[in-house]
């Protein structure tokens, strides 16, 4: 049953039009054609390569069929006078028109009253196109004859509303649309119907997860906002109106008795950290604990310092949890969290791996998340302890295109910080070849002489942290030579945590002018005085990553620049990426482009990819369906609950239907 269904949902790559037989005299080289002809002559030649040649003619012209693999039976079948159909691409050979390994038919059905296009499937090794076609045809036959039943799971009313054909009709036409429907399955209505249903199943499974989560009890954090007010008074600026709106949304969630599941998205530099701080204060004021998890050691360390500065005056203990701290320190941090002496824990994923126990954990903040899947997020809930479900606040590293957010994060509510703090000047971006290195060095010198600071990023050259570190070391040496009189510092992944931290602190204090770094500085790092970003080998990085790195500058009021340095020659795709970066600073625009260029897997990071591998749907061509799918999912939940389970079963299978952990 499953295997039949899999066959039926196997989407063709394209379609061939075999409904029209062409005359040889009218066929052009390069075309995929069907010809009907008679064998004139067959012979085996062994010039360079032993091959079977067969000349066929239809009265308007002749074509040579060429086979490199053949057996005696095939040779025998091509005897003189035999009529046959040849299907394949016509090429201009040295001795006139030829076809290489065409598909042959010796008898064929009478002209069909309803002619259909022929599917060409993606095949895997060992499974021949013709075999696959035969298997699918057999499955379709069983469907027609009623041996196999594909229940209609999208109710009539919704099919009408969203203009969807019935499932059986869609499946039939997926494997043999009428001529004129075009030969691209992406645009085919039948495929779109199936994609709709698949996205619907996905959406329902996420909504189900969300519903389950909402049924759990969470501590209602009804703080007066007294601590928040004291905290905000210590800041040299006030919240942007977007920050105010989003933090109010968060506060409302926290005050309800169900676990918050909220995604906060905002461009780099939009001030997401403050949203986390305010949420943490609500937890602390209500007598609970909060935990903040960052994706890298460097960022976690930076947050630790920031939050210590912010929270110490309020008398709030902050504990540091990392995989790389010494045993004694780690024990002390754990003890502080276990007895409740520390109200806030900050760390990397070690927070949730080590046996860290919390006295009263009520809030988990995941910062700059783009690498965690839904399952991992669910696993974090377990940390709440008996009877306590912690609230979850997830903050994205870069904006996520709306369609993608609605699909990948459908179990979360979404808030957007769609405004940058005032007084920022947009980063000016230039793209240049590495041959202009001396010019780049001059720019660094001049920026530093004006009291500014610069990053020089050497991205991963091979999949090796060691090689990357070596490249960064070499670059630092070169720059020290070229920039005598300036202080050049270095951070990379192979340094010890305290060494990295020391370099970052010196950079922050202005003791280092130029920080040579690997992509460890990719996310979150905040040094407002740095105004020049140089990214070497920029052609190797994806859009989101480049945008993140660029986001390290332009954080102060000073005009900032980013130089994207590439090693020629530049591929078309890389040129398009760099061009996009040069043209816009808007993370939402960049995210949309990234989705179009690389697809959802790359935009969301590897973890999410598994979840978003669809059989039929493709978020690039089906993005426009997402809103309707979401609406339909809501209607299904309200009015046709009985159809939800079979729908999940059909598309996600028994085990994953509810994405259970």
367/622 with CB nearer ligand ADP: 367
136/264 with CB nearer Mg ion: 264
Q: How far apart are CA 129 and CA 329, in angstroms?
A: 62
Count of CB atoms situated within 10 Å of the CB of 360: 18
Q: How far apart are CA 240 and CA 416, in angstroms?
A: 12
Residue 421's binding partner out of ligand ADP, Mg ion, none, with CB under 5 to 8 Å set by partner kind? ligand ADP
In the list 64, 173, 183, 243, the residue contacting ligand ADP (rule: CB under 6 A) is 243
Shortest spacing between CB 274 and ligand ADP, in angstroms: 5
Q: Is 554 in the site for Mg ion (CB under 5 A)?
A: no
Shortest spacing between CB 406 and ligand ADP, in angstroms: 22
Q: How far apart are CA 445 and CA 427, in angstroms?
A: 19
118/302 with CB nearer Mg ion: 302
Instruction: List the structure tokens of 173.
Output: 């036409």
243/322 with CB nearer ligand ADP: 243
Q: Which of 419, 372, 374, 380 is nearest to 396 (CA)?
A: 372
Site for ligand ADP in 390-449 (CB under 6 A): 421
Instruction: List the structure tokens of 495.
Output: 């340094």
In the list 271, 384, 489, 587, the residue contacting ligand ADP (rule: CB under 6 A) is 271
- The phi and psi torsions of 42 (rounded to 5 degrees) equal -130, 135
C-alpha distance from residue 632 to each of 199, 531, 594, 640 (Å): 10, 48, 28, 10
Instruction: List the structure tokens of 472.
Output: 């960064």
Residue 573, CB-side half-sphere exposure with 13 Å CA sphere: 8
Shortest spacing between CB 275 and ligand ADP, in angstroms: 8
Q: How far apart are CA 406 and CA 199, in angstroms?
A: 11
Q: Give 454's strand partners.
A: 514, 532
Helix, strand, or coil here: 421? coil
Q: Which of 214, 199, 121, 295 is nearest to 611 (CA)?
A: 199
Q: Is 272 in the site for ligand ADP (CB under 6 A)?
A: yes
In the list 524, 551, 587, 600, the residue contacting Mg ion (rule: CB under 5 A) is 524
In the list 144, 215, 237, 442, the residue contacting ligand ADP (rule: CB under 6 A) is 237
DSSP collapsed to 3 states, 586-628: CHHHHHHHHHHHHCHHHHHCHHHHHHCCCCCCCCCCCHHHHHH
DSSP collapsed to 3 states, 429-459: EEEEEHHHHHHHHHHHHHHHHCCCEEEEECC
300/647 with CB nearer ligand ADP: 300
Shortest spacing between CB 273 and ligand ADP, in angstroms: 3
Q: Is 239 in the site for ligand ADP (CB under 6 A)?
A: yes
# binding residues, Mg ion (CB under 5 A): 2
Q: Is 273 in the site for ligand ADP (CB under 6 A)?
A: yes
Q: How far apart are CA 221 and CA 343, in angstroms?
A: 14
What order of strands is seen across the sheet that includes strand 344-347?
A: 318-321, 344-347, 289-293, 361-369, 391-396, 261-266, 413-417
Total number of residues shown for the chain? 661
Q: Is 555 in the site for ligand ADP (CB under 6 A)?
A: yes
Q: Which stretch binds ligand ADP (CB under 6 A): 122-130, 145-153, 272-280, 441-449?
A: 272-280
CB 199 within 8 A of CB 29: no
411/522 with CB nearer ligand ADP: 522
Q: Which stretch binds Mg ion (CB under 5 A): 39-47, 434-442, 444-452, 520-528?
A: 520-528
Q: How far apart are CA 489 and CA 512, in angstroms?
A: 6
Shortest spacing between CB 399 and ligand ADP, in angstroms: 11
272/334 with CB nearer Mg ion: 272
# binding residues, ligand ADP (CB under 6 A): 17
Locus of tokens 């249903």 = 197
CB 397 within 8 A of CB 523: yes
Q: Is 173 in the site for ligand ADP (CB under 6 A)?
A: no
Site for Mg ion in 235-274 (CB under 5 A): 272
Residue 459's binding partner out of Mg ion, ligand ADP, none, with CB under 5 to 8 Å set by partner kind? none
Closest residue to ligand ADP, judged by C-beta, is: 271
12/266 with CB nearer ligand ADP: 266
Q: Which helix (H) or strand (E) segment is 302 a member of?
A: helix 297-311
Count of CB atoms situated within 10 Å of the CB of 631: 14
Q: Is 246 in the site for ligand ADP (CB under 6 A)?
A: no
Q: How far apart are CA 658 and CA 132, in angstroms?
A: 31
For the four alpha carbons of 546, 548, 553 and 556, in that order, the dihedral sign comes to positive
465/526 with CB nearer ligand ADP: 526
240/348 with CB nearer ligand ADP: 240
Shortest spacing between CB 365 and Mg ion, in angstroms: 11
In the list 185, 219, 259, 266, the residue contacting ligand ADP (rule: CB under 6 A) is 266
Site for ligand ADP in 506-525 (CB under 6 A): 524
548/561 with CB nearer ligand ADP: 548
522/539 with CB nearer ligand ADP: 522
272/500 with CB nearer Mg ion: 272
Shortest spacing between CB 273 and Mg ion, in angstroms: 5
Instruction: List the structure tokens of 422.
Output: 């005032």
516/523 with CB nearer ligand ADP: 523
In Å, how far from its chain's centre is CA 612? 8
Residues 6+ apart with CB under 8 A from 305: none
Residues 6+ apart with CB under 8 A from 490: 472, 473, 476, 503, 515, 516, 517
In the list 88, 119, 269, 587, the residue contacting ligand ADP (rule: CB under 6 A) is 269
In the list 413, 473, 526, 618, the residue contacting ligand ADP (rule: CB under 6 A) is 526
Residue 36's binding partner out of Mg ion, ligand ADP, none, with CB under 5 to 8 Å set by partner kind? none
Q: Is 232 in the site for ligand ADP (CB under 6 A)?
A: no
Q: Is 600 in the site for Mg ion (CB under 5 A)?
A: no
Q: Give 489's strand partners.
A: 515
* First-to-last C-alpha distance (Å) of the chain: 26
Shortest spacing between CB 556 and ligand ADP, in angstroms: 8
Q: How far apart are CA 263 and CA 415, in angstroms?
A: 6
* Beta-strand relationship, 91-93 and 96-100: antiparallel
Residue 269's binding partner out of ligand ADP, Mg ion, none, with CB under 5 to 8 Å set by partner kind? ligand ADP
205/243 with CB nearer Mg ion: 243
In the list 323, 528, 599, 601, the residue contacting ligand ADP (rule: CB under 6 A) is 528
Q: Which helix (H) or strand (E) segment is 524 a member of?
A: none
Q: Is 270 in the site for ligand ADP (CB under 6 A)?
A: yes
Q: How far apart are CA 218 and CA 253, in angstroms?
A: 10
Q: Which stretch binds ligand ADP (CB under 6 A): 245-253, 269-277, 331-339, 512-520?
A: 269-277
Residue 555's binding partner out of Mg ion, ligand ADP, none, with CB under 5 to 8 Å set by partner kind? ligand ADP
Shortest spacing between CB 266 and Mg ion, in angstroms: 9
Using CB under 6 A, list all residues that contact ligand ADP. 237, 239-240, 243, 266, 268-274, 421, 524, 526, 528, 555
Using CB under 5 A, list all residues that contact Mg ion. 272, 524
């Amino acid at each position: 049953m499953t295997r039949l269904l899999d066959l039926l949902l196997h989407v063709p790559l394209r379609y061939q039009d075999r409904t029209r037989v062409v005359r040889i005299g009218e066929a052009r080289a390069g075309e995929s054609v069907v010809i009907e002809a008679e064998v004139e002559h067959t012979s085996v030649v062994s010039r360079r390569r032993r091959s079977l040649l067969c000349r066929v003619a239809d009265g308007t012209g002749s074509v040579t069929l060429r086979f490199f693999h053949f057996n005696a039976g095939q040779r025998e079948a091509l005897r003189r006078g035999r009529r046959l159909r040849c299907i394949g691409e016509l090429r201009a050979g040295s001795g006139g028109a030829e076809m290489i390994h065409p598909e042959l038919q010796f008898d064929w059905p009478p002209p069909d009253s309803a002619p259909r296009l022929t599917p060409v499937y993606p095949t895997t090794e060992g499974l021949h196109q013709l075999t696959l076609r035969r298997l699918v045809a057999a499955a379709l036959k069983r469907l027609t004859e009623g041996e196999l039943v594909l229940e209609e799971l999208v109710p009539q009313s919704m099919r009408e509303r969203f203009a969807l054909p019935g499932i059986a009709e869609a499946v039939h036409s997926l494997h043999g649309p009428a001529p004129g429907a075009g030969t691209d399955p992406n645009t085919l209505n039948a495929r779109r119907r199936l994609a709709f249903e698949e996205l619907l199943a996905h959406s329902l499974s996420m909504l189900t997860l969300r519903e389950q989560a909402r049924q759990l009890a969470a501590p209602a954090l009804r703080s007066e906002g007294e601590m928040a007010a004291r905290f905000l008074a210590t800041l040299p600026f006030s919240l942007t109106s977007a920050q105010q709106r989003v933090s109010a949304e968060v506060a409302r969630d926290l005050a309800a008795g169900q676990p918050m599941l909220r995604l906060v998205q905002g461009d780099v530099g939009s001030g997401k950290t403050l949203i986390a701080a305010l949420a943490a204060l609500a937890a602390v004021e209500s007598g609970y604990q909060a935990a903040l998890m960052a994706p890298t050691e460097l960022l976690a360390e930076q947050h630790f310092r920031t939050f210590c500065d912010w929270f110490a005056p309020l008398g709030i203990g902050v504990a540091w949890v990392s995989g790389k701290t010494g045993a004694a320190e780690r024990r002390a941090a754990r003890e502080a969290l276990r007895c409740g002496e520390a109200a806030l824990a900050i760390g990397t994923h070690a927070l949730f791996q080590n046996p860290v126990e919390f006295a009263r954990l009520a809030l988990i903040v995941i910062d700059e998340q783009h690498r965690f899947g839904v399952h991992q997020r669910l696993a974090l809930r377990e940390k709440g302890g008996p009877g306590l479900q912690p609230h979850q606040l997830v903050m994205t590293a870069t904006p996520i295109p709306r369609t993608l957010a609605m699909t990948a994060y459908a179990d979360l509510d979404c808030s957007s910080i769609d405004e940058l703090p005032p007084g920022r000047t947009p980063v000016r971006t230039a793209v240049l070849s590495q041959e202009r290195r001396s010019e780049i060095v001059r720019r660094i010198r001049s920026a530093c002489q004006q009291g500014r600071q610069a990053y020089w990023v050497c991205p991963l050259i091979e999949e090796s942290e060691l090689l990357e570190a070596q490249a960064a070391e070499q670059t630092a040496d070169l720059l020290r030579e070229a920039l005598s009189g300036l202080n050049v510092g270095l951070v990379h992944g192979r340094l010890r945590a305290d060494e990295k931290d020391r370099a970052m602190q010196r950079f922050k204090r202005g003791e280092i002018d130029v920080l040579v770094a690997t992509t460890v500085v990719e996310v979150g790092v905040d040094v407002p005085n740095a105004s020049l970003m140089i990214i070497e080998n920029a052609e190797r990085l994806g859009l989101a990553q480049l945008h993140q790195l660029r986001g390290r500058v332009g954080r102060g009021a000073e005009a900032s620049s980013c130089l994207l340095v590439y090693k020629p020659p530049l591929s078309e795709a890389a040129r398009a990426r760099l061009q996009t970066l040069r043209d816009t600073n808007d993370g939402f625009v960049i995210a949309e482009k990234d989705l179009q260029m690389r697809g959802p897997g790359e935009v969301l990071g590897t973890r999410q990819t598994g979840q978003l591998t669809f059989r039929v749907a493709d978020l690039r061509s089906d993005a426009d369906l997402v809103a309707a799918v979401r609406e339909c999912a809501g209607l299904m939940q309200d009015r046709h609950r009985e159809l939800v389970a079979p729908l999940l079963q059909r598309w996600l299978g028994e085990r994953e239907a509810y994405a259970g952990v």
